[in-house]
Amino acid sequence: MGFSSRRPALAIAAAVGLVLSAAACGTDDSGGKSTADCGAYEQYEGHDGTSVEIYSSIREIEDERLQQSWEEFEECTGIDIEHEGSGEFEAQLPVRVDGGNAPDIAFIPQPGLIQRFAASGKAKPVSADTKTMAEANYTADWLRYGSVDGTLYGAPLGSNVKSFVWYSPTMFAEKGWQVPKSWDELLKLSDTIAADGTKPWCVGIESGDATGWPMTDWVEDMVLRVASPEVYDQWVNHEIAFNDPRIAESLDQAGRILKNEKYVNGGFGGVKSISTTSFQEAGVPITQGKCALHRQASFYANQWPENTKVAEDGDVFAFYFPAVDPSKGEPVLGGGEFVVAFADRPEVQAVQTYLASGLHANSRAKIGDWVSANKELDTANVANPIDRLSVEILQNPQTVFRFDASDVMPASVGAGTFWRGMVDWVNGNDTKGVLDGIESSWPK
């Protein structure tokens, strides 16, 4: 019968498959194990055979790199880290936590969300070990965003710097333009470029269900510069109203670029094209010479078309979004995720401590495309020029770091009316009306 004669063939095929895959595993393992020096992991040992579940918004290639970064840790300690990345992380995490199905650890990019879990008692404060490690490796500026009422709930992991303006070094060299050092110089440069016949700025804030967020970054950067980091803190914590005159002034200053038909939107049209241009595409006209300046975070490095050289002497690079008055210090806006635990098993705390260590920061940085504010991070391990610049800025003791306000505010504002308000604002609504609207939506 045909059936019985086909069977051995199947079995052979399966066996070959198994052997092949085993061989593939074998090469991987021997590469890791023979070189691994487990001495560095001594303090995390003693949890062999346990597993820790991590949930985050990190997916695809970034997910693979992350898993690679803790491979050695897993081998040496015997703790199995299971990472799951989800595109619906922000909406799903509360559902999982409230439903009693919380992950052991979540990488939470919103301090606002940490506050929510801390208030409900679902998040666990970090262990003494993690706290010591975090305090040694991160500045107080960073740690307070992972803390609620003075209790640390999570150390930072990855970070990004948002106060960047992308430009083309080759275009600047050709035209003889200089990287501006102050807000006034930036406006002057914009005028020069506009006079040259190109719209200087390209902006895009469309981002699916998060449409509007790039514009909130703009405004936050302006509040830090036009007002001050202190006013920024009060604004974030709602100690001053959202529609405070100093915030209105900052928004109006941003409007000098964003609502100026002469300045925007290079390669896409007029001011109204901003809200429908996707943030991924928004900077690309720089490579086509259709615009010259694009304010966006360090992670925009991954959005350039293939074969675009991102370097100080390359096709594109970024400069620090200049301060209004550089003599008062240089504020930096940024973001990052925090390693928050929902369980206090010792292996979970060991992973938490490890992720706050320089050991992990350097291991992850070596794999590429990563920035962290970890002080132990050796810039020599950061290959990408824009990442290195970001790390240098974050590690600079002069830097006044502030976390992305929209991630700290309550989600109904930070991920709701603030985003929406900015879309309305750029589409022609006036500053006062928009700010009044957001203020009235602040949860009481």
Partner 1 sequence: MNFDLARESDKLLMLLYGLIAFVVVVGGLILLLEVVPSWLEKRRIARRRPGKRTEGRLALFFLLPALLMVGIGLVVPAVRTTGLSFMDAGSDSWVGLANYHWMFAQDDIRRVLLNTMTWVVLVPLSATVIGLLYAVLVDRARFESIAKSLIFMPMAISFVGASIIWKFVYAFRGEGEEQIGLLNQIVMTFGGEPRQWLLDPPLNTLLLIVIMVWIQAGFAMVILSAAIKAIPGDIVEAARLDGVNAWQMFARVTLPSIRPALIVVVVTISIATLKVFDIVRTSTNGHYDTSVIANEMYLHAFPYGETGKGSALAVFLFVLVIPIVIYQIRNLRQQREG
H helix or E strand, kind and range, residue 155: strand 154-161
Shortest Cβ distance from residue 234 to partner 1 (Å)?
A: 22
**Of 112 and 229, which CB lies nearer to partner 1 in the complex structure?**
112
- CB within 8 A of 328, min separation 6: which ones? 228
- Compose the 215-254 pattern: x for residues touching partner 1 by CB under 8 A, - for all others: ----------------------------------------
Shortest Cβ distance from residue 179 to partner 1 (Å)?
A: 27
Among 11, 18, 23, 195, binds partner 1 (CB under 8 A): 18
Is residue 124 within 8 Å of residue 341, measured between CB atoms? yes
**Of 21 and 379, which CB lies nearer to partner 1 in the complex structure?**
21
- Compose the 100-119 pattern: x for residues touching partner 1 by CB under 8 A, - for all others: -------------x--x--x
Is residue 358 within 8 Å of residue 136, measured between CB atoms? no
Residue 9 touches partner 1, criterion: CB under 8 A: no
Q: Which two tokens stand for residue 410?
A: 């309550």
Shortest Cβ distance from residue 258 to partner 1 (Å)?
A: 16
Hey, is 441 helix, strand or coil? helix
Among 7, 11, 17, 191, binds partner 1 (CB under 8 A): 17
Among 57, 159, 406, 417, binds partner 1 (CB under 8 A): 417
**Of 97 and 394, which CB lies nearer to partner 1 in the complex structure?**
97
Residue 192 touches partner 1, criterion: CB under 8 A: no
| Residue 8: C-alpha distances to residues 12, 15, 22, 418, 424 (Å) | 6, 10, 21, 65, 67
Shortest Cβ distance from residue 290 to partner 1 (Å)?
A: 9
- CB burial of 185-219 (b: ≥16 within 10 Å; e: otherwise) equals ebbebbeebbeeebbbbbbbbbeeeebbbbbbbbb
Give the single-character DSSP code of 201: B
**Of 379 and 427, which CB lies nearer to partner 1 in the complex structure?**
427
- CB within 8 A of 37, min separation 6: which ones? none
Among 78, 420, 439, 442, binds partner 1 (CB under 8 A): 420
Compute how many residues bind partner 1; rule: CB under 8 A: 42
Among 32, 314, 385, 437, binds partner 1 (CB under 8 A): 437
Is residue 134 within 8 Å of residue 356, measured between CB atoms? yes
C-alpha 203/C-alpha 282 separation (Å) is 5
Using the Cα atoms of residue 294, residue 300, residue 302 and residue 303 in order, give the sign of their dihedral: negative
Shortest Cβ distance from residue 159 to partner 1 (Å)?
A: 23
Residue 128: what residue type?
A: A
Among 14, 128, 311, 380, binds partner 1 (CB under 8 A): 14
Among 23, 427, 430, 432, binds partner 1 (CB under 8 A): 427
Is residue 301 within 8 Å of residue 310, measured between CB atoms? yes
151-152 vs 147-148, strand pairing mode:
antiparallel
**Of 265 and 399, which CB lies nearer to partner 1 in the complex structure?**
265
CB atoms within 10 A of CB 259: 18
Q: Which two tokens stand for residue 184?
A: 């006034």
Shortest Cβ distance from residue 295 to partner 1 (Å)?
A: 19
Shortest Cβ distance from residue 423 to partner 1 (Å)?
A: 5
Residue 385 touches partner 1, criterion: CB under 8 A: no
- Compose the 261-300 pattern: x for residues touching partner 1 by CB under 8 A, - for all others: ----x-xxxx-xx-xx------------------------
Residues in the chain: 444
Residue 209 touches partner 1, criterion: CB under 8 A: yes
Q: Where are the beta strands (DSSP E) in 233-346?
A: 294-295, 317-320, 331-341
Cα distance between the two ends of the chain = 77
Q: Which residues bind partner 1 (CB under 8 A)?
A: 14, 17-18, 21-22, 24-25, 90-91, 94-95, 113, 116, 119-120, 208-209, 211-212, 265, 267-270, 272-273, 275-276, 410-412, 415-417, 420, 423-424, 427, 437, 440-441, 443
